[in-house]
Structure 1
Amino acid sequence: MKTLHLFPLFIAALAASIALQACQHTDRVKAIPNSDTIPVALLSLQNSSSTVAFEATGTFTTDDETLLSFKSGGVIEKIYVREGDAVRSGQLLARVHMDEVDARASQVGLAVEKAQRDYDRVNQLYRDSVSTLEQLQNAQTALRVAQQDVKSIRFNKQYSEIRATSSGYVLARLAQEGQVVGPGTPVFQINGANEGNWELKVGMSDRQWAATQVGDTAVVEADALGDGGFKAVVSRKAEGLDPNTGTFSVFLRLLGKPQRKLAAGIFATAKLQARENTASGWQIPYESLLDGNGKEGYVFVTNDNRVAKRVKITLGPISADEVTVLSGLEGAKALVVSGSPYLVDGAPIRVLKQK
């Protein structure tokens, strides 16, 4: 009988225990979202216009760098300069053996004498009505051809020597004495360094090349120029891809003559500032960008400071620490700048800092 009286008490105690556990479970479920809330830092978004600016690297050269060669070719008799030698405009650099050229000139001279005799004889016969007008005309044409050969051999003889086209330096000597070279085979590579025609040749991507215009300003930095930058301006742009580097070449002319001596091939960095091109959009920190591919990417934004939303954006110019967003942030109030790697679309957030 005592057992029967205790049974209702056991049932009541069990029910109370279940209710208490249910309440504790409910409180724990409510607490889970709070424990999964991601702390983030926000940046208030404001549309603005930014000037296109970026860095490019390249090497110094001159705008009159050229390859010199013999027009007619032959055996090189004498080379008067070496790599690195300073040269002045018109200076004799090399010549070929003239025996063959002189022999050819003698042959042409003899051909002119024979053509002249033939013409005189036919002309006299024509006056005596012995030869025809056609024979006279043929003799006259042969004489003129021989005379033109004389002009040609004189021209070729003149270019049996190589002379400097400008005052500068020998960058490379591509042949040696006694070597047989054909017409147009490069023998020297020279530049006009002494004329002060230095320029910086930099390689750019297609996006950077399109954003750069002739006349844009830049600051050039190089160890050879010393501390600080040297002002330059974009003087010309290549209209095709350089197959050796896979980039588009842009040439920057230095404004003023450097105090220190430069040499072809010296490495330098140029910080370019577009003169007219501007991109309207948002400036966001580079670290806030997710899954960027150069043209598109993703970021997290929030409108209520409570829930993060993942949005797709279109990218503009990219610098060392900032990215220009052209579209995708319309209507967004704040950007998540830290904590993004831990977020998913719709995740709850807790704002630690907002700028």
Structure 2
Amino acid sequence: MKFLSFILPILIAVGIWACGSKAGDNQRQQSSETPDENVVPIKLTAVSTVVRAEPVVASGLVSSAKEARLSFKIGGIINQMFVEEGQTVRKGQLLATLDLTEINAQVSQAQLAHEKAERDLGRVKSLYADTAATLEQLQNATTGQNVAKQNLTIAQFNRNYAQIRATVDGTVTRKLTNAGEFASAGASVYLISSNRQSDWVVRVGVSDKDWARLRLGNRATIMLDAYPGHTFTGTVSELAQAADPVNKLYEVEIRINPGSVKFAPGLFAKVTLVPAQNRSYTLVPVESIIEGNGKEGFVYVLADDRKHVRKTPVQIGFLENDKVLITNGLTGIKDVVTAGSAFLTEESSVVVK
């Protein structure tokens, strides 16, 4: 009886241990047969290199290369204005005149002063010949006659420019005053833009970095809001040699060919310039870019142990169809993660499929 009470606990303990060992073996077997759900399958795509000229994109307004702000030489009351906004004018055409009442009086006054100075000079010359006048008096009379002659020339010149004539063949884009108003000397009265096909330009502002890559003659494509779906071609005709003091941008003038389309000053244009200067880019699929923000983004690349990935920052140049041109960040990298990148972190275990 004592023997049974001693051996029974031992048998029960052995039985419990045997059951636990079998359950553990079964659990380990099931664990080894179940795949690790934390392993993310990924696909790698090889990066390539391409040489391109990165375009410069800017916006501006259509205008004429030959624009004129026409004004009177002197101030006065406007007598007549012969053209209105939108009218076509020819070079040399009379556009406006001043009231000549005051101006003619000034010419007459200068004419009378000149005649008197000539008479005075004649008398002094006669007196000087009779030794009744001094050399100083003769010189003063000669100077007075010359001054009077120059004043007459000024008065006549001002009368000739008491009118406005067109300086180019074009269209009146602005009429800033009306007949009967007082026009100050040099104040704009008409704005005229040349309407020749070869005179249309687009002026845009670019940064110093983009300005340095542009050259005269570089090609450009232009899109106008007024003509959606229509692409115009152009070339760089002028590059500013100093930045605008307000916006710090450099002005670039692109001469545009309108073809059979009607243009007008002020049309909004989006310009894509193609510099002649090329550079090398790394080319990757667009789906490899994550957390893209403007010119910055990230890609995943395979770590050295080939079981994990690392997140690498890149500088984005521009998009080209389904590819992204990278300017910096993938030096020495041969492959980037494409499929599966949306589910990755740097702690993820991966397997290449």
TM-score bucket (shorter structure): 0.7 to 0.9
Q: Structure 1 residues 92 and 131 mapped into 2: Cα distance closer, same or farther (>3 Å)?
A: same
Q: Matched residues in 2 for 1:55 and 1:20: separation?
A: 70
- Alignment of 1:272 with 2:279, yes or no, is no
Identify the residue that residue 253 of structure 1 maps to in structure 2: 255
Query: Of residues 72, 78, 81 in structure 1, which corresponds to 2:80?
Result: 78
**What secondary structure, in the 3-state scheme, does the structure 2 residue paired with 1:154 have?**
helix
Identify the residue that residue 310 of structure 1 maps to in structure 2: 311
How far off its partner does 1:137 sit? 1.6
How far off its partner does 1:16 sit? 5.7
Q: Matched residues in 2 for 1:188 and 1:138: separation?
A: 45
Q: Is the 8 A contact 2:63 2:266 kept in 1?
A: yes
Equivalenced residues, count: 348
Q: Matched residues in 1 for 2:255 and 2:129: separation?
A: 70
Q: Is the 8 A contact 2:48 2:284 kept in 1?
A: no
Q: Matched residues in 1 for 2:261 and 2:25: separation?
A: 83
Q: Is the 8 A contact 2:318 2:326 kept in 1?
A: no
Amino acid at match of 1:283: L
Q: Structure 1 residues 27 and 233 mapped into 2: Cα distance closer, same or farther (>3 Å)?
A: farther
Q: Matched residues in 2 for 1:247 and 1:35: separation?
A: 55
Q: Structure 1 residues 330 and 19 mapped into 2: Cα distance closer, same or farther (>3 Å)?
A: farther
Amino acid at match of 2:38: D
Identify the residue that residue 61 of structure 1 maps to in structure 2: 63
Question: Cα deviation per residue 1:193-227 (whole Å; 9 max; x = unaligned)?
Answer: 14641122334444433332211112334476686
Q: Is the 8 A contact 1:292 1:298 kept in 2?
A: yes
Identify the residue that residue 150 of structure 2 maps to in structure 1: 148
Q: Matched residues in 2 for 1:111 and 1:288: separation?
A: 89
Query: Of residues 92, 95, 99 in structure 2, which corresponds to 1:93?
Result: 95
Q: Matched residues in 2 for 1:31 and 1:54: separation?
A: 55
Q: Matched residues in 2 for 1:74 and 1:108: separation?
A: 18
How far off its partner does 1:261 sit? 2.0
Q: Matched residues in 2 for 1:319 and 1:111: separation?
A: 77
Q: Is the 8 A contact 1:224 1:262 kept in 2?
A: no
Amino acid at match of 1:259: S
Q: Matched residues in 2 for 1:10 and 1:179: separation?
A: 122
Gaps of 5+ in 1: none
How far off its partner does 1:111 sit? 1.7
**What secondary structure, in the 3-state scheme, does the structure 2 residue paired with 1:175 have?**
coil
Amino acid at match of 1:60: V
Identify the residue that residue 111 of structure 1 maps to in structure 2: 113
Q: Is the 8 A contact 2:78 2:96 kept in 1?
A: yes
Q: 233-242 or 157-166, which moves further after superposition?
A: 233-242
How far off its partner does 1:56 sit? 3.6
Amino acid at match of 2:277: N
How far off its partner does 1:324 sit? 3.3
TM-score under structure 1 length normalisation:
0.82
Identify the residue that residue 132 of structure 2 maps to in structure 1: 130
TM-score under structure 2 length normalisation:
0.82
**What secondary structure, in the 3-state scheme, does the structure 1 residue paired with 2:83 have?**
coil
Q: Which has the larger radius of gyration?
A: 2
**What secondary structure, in the 3-state scheme, does the structure 1 residue paired with 2:284 have?**
strand
- Alignment of 1:198 with 2:176, yes or no, is no
Identify the residue that residue 222 of structure 2 maps to in structure 1: 220
Identify the residue that residue 47 of structure 2 maps to in structure 1: 45
Question: Cα deviation per residue 1:303-336 (whole Å; 9 max; x = unaligned)?
Answer: 6664322234445x43465543333312211123
Q: 216-225 or 107-116, which moves further after superposition?
A: 216-225
Identify the residue that residue 300 of structure 1 maps to in structure 2: 300
Q: Matched residues in 2 for 1:86 and 1:119: separation?
A: 52
Q: Structure 1 residues 181 and 342 mapped into 2: Cα distance closer, same or farther (>3 Å)?
A: farther
Q: Matched residues in 2 for 1:27 and 1:127: separation?
A: 140
Q: Is the 8 A contact 1:309 1:347 kept in 2?
A: no
Amino acid at match of 2:218: D
Q: Is the 8 A contact 1:224 1:261 kept in 2?
A: no
**What secondary structure, in the 3-state scheme, does the structure 1 residue paired with 2:333 have?**
coil
Identity, in percent, stands at 33
Amino acid at match of 2:265: A
Q: Structure 1 residues 19 and 258 mapped into 2: Cα distance closer, same or farther (>3 Å)?
A: same
Q: Matched residues in 2 for 1:29 and 1:135: separation?
A: 129
Q: Is the 8 A contact 2:52 2:280 kept in 1?
A: yes
Q: Is the 8 A contact 1:49 1:280 kept in 2?
A: yes
